Amino acid sequence: MRVYFLTLGCRVNQYETDAARRLFLDNGHENVNSPEEADVCIVNTCSVTGEADRKSSQMLRRMAKNNPNAVIVAMGCASELKNGDVAADIVIGTRDKNTVVAKVEEFLAQRENKSLDHKTSHTRPEVSKTDEYHDFGTVLSPEGTRAFIKVEDGCNNFCTYCVIPYARGRVVSRPEDACVKEAEFLVENGFKEIIVSGIHLCSYGKDQGKDISALLELLKKIDAIPGLERLRLGSLEPKSMTPEFILGLKSLKHLCPHFHLSLQSGSDTVLKRMNRKYTTAEYEDRVNALRAEFPDMSLTTDIITGFPEETEEEFEETVKYAQKLRFAKIHVFPYSVREGTRAADMPQIDMSIRKARAKRLIEVSDALAAEFAASMTGKETEILIEKIEEKDGKTVAEGYTANYIRTFAEVENDRFSRGDIVKGVVIRSENENLFVKFE
């Protein structure tokens, strides 16, 4: 059968889509690039914001309309939160995505035997509440240069704005040997960079009674794999950045000096309403400790604007705090009401104010990103080439530095290839991008 995939949401969702695609290919099926030519259309849904939820539903309806003969499959967070009540023939939750091939094949067999009336009967998920990690095995990323591995699922934090603990369940950790085995497999297949990710990465091992040292031990084993050139981390929890953990990170030979440290607000009163378990002073201490060990690191973060009851003064605190900490990039989100969370019952701010504040903070982020890129001028760096293409009669390589800045360089034909890591000197910056002359 021909299968089309659409992924909405986070990197973990993308990893799980890549894994599901591989399962179909391994079972003799074909991946196609448009829903119109597919026998099966699969949407990996997201529900982190109201917009993501709306888009998930919209894409399912659109695929059914444009290809009425296709089997429509919904999987992921929106499916889980709605307890399977979505417009699809097959609905799968968040923790049983590795059963997708079997469920599709079973559905098609039943329809072929006329025991299932297409478009009137549906298979619904049993919403997973078990503390069990459902492993896909080893997964090859279609990117070809960088690959994600998922080592953890779920979250126990229950921030007042967030539905993820309800959609993904409690923390479950992947066995260490399975994580290392997948990393070895990826390196053997030519991947130069591995990104270790999870829904709440710093909780790795928590379900087994372990602390942040469990993640560090896993990272050390991945870092020691022969042939690995870059090791990058997903989003990190500020309070997990203990002195011992930071020193452990410093000991890793291949770690990229790029840290995504989730913030959400630069106001202590807002952080308290969010049920974030740190203050701005504690967050700043962690950042300073990281910068002491990684002077050229880039620091990125997430911030929500217009959280319930956020005053202009509280928003201004966030703006000033972001400028003080010199983030290399801020992922800005206007607050989105998620039913079932505590924040949904708080006094809400008009959406126009949320969006206006988001617009202003994005402008701050753009200025900070340009400032950080400019600070790299004249420095030696390395770029992992992700693509090479012709632009205005020139051959241009594009990729990312270790501290995750998009970089461009003119190259001679056939001198370098996609996937190469090449040293060069930054000759100039433009907005948040770098331009490098290779050695």
Q: Where are any strands of DSSP class E within 66-186?
A: 71-76, 90-92, 146-153, 172-173
Tokens of 202: 């710093």
395 touches 354 (CB < 8 A): no
Dihedral angle of Cα 78, 83, 89, 94, to the nearest 10 degrees: 50
The residue assigned the tokens 């799980």 is: 16
How does pLDDT run along the chain (439 residues), one tens digit per residue? Answer: 999 999 998 888 989 999 899 999 999 999 999 999 999 999 999 988 888 888 999 999 999 999 999 999 999 898 888 877 888 999 988 878 888 999 999 888 888 776 555 444 455 545 455 567 777 777 777 767 899 999 999 999 999 999 989 888 899 999 999 999 999 999 999 999 999 999 999 999 999 999 999 999 999 999 999 999 999 999 999 999 999 999 999 999 999 999 999 999 999 999 999 999 999 999 999 999 999 999 999 999 999 999 999 999 999 999 999 999 999 999 999 999 998 899 999 999 999 999 999 999 999 999 999 999 999 999 999 999 999 988 888 899 999 999 999 999 998 867 888 999 999 999 999 999 999 999 8
Q: What is the pLDDT of residues 283-317, one digit of tens each?
A: 999 999 999 999 999 999 999 999 999 999 999 99
Q: What is the pTM of this model?
A: 0.90
**How far apart (Å, rounded) are the C-alpha atoms in residues 60 and 407?**
36
Distance (Å, whole) CA 367 – CA 361 = 10
* pLDDT of res. 131: 62
Question: Which residues have a Cβ under 8 Å from the Cβ of 154 and sit 6 or more positions away?
Answer: 131, 165, 168, 169, 170, 171, 172, 199, 200, 203
What is the helix, strand, coil percentage profile of the chain, to 5? Answer: 40, 25, 40
Nearest Cα neighbor of 409 from 378, 384, 436 is 436
Structure token digits, residue 141:
């990323």
Alpha-helix runs per DSSP H in 37-128: 50-66, 77-81, 100-112
What does DSSP say about strands 2-7 and 40-45: parallel, antiparallel, or unpaired?
A: parallel
| Pairing outcome for strands 146-153 and 172-173 | antiparallel
Kindly report the backbone phi and psi dihedral angles of residue 227, in degrees, each rounded to the nearest multiple of 5, phi listed first.
100, -15
224-263: pLDDT as tens digits: 999 999 999 999 999 999 999 999 999 999 999 999 999 9
| pLDDT for position 143 | 67
For residue 115, the model assigns a pLDDT of 57
Number of neighbouring beta carbons within 10 Å of residue 156? 12
Residues 410-436 as b or e (16 or more Cβ within 10 Å = b): ebeeeebeebbbbebebeebeebebbb
Query: Rounded to an integer, what distance in angstroms lies between the CA atom of residue 333 and that of residue 256?
Result: 26
Q: Domains in the chain, please, with CATH? A: 2-112 (3.40.50.12160), 133-256 (3.30.750.210), 265-375 (3.30.750.200), 380-438 (2.40.50)
Q: 438 near 409, Cβ under 8 Å? A: yes
Q: At which residue do the structure tokens 């960079």 appear?
A: 193
> Which neighbouring-strand residues pair with 230?
193
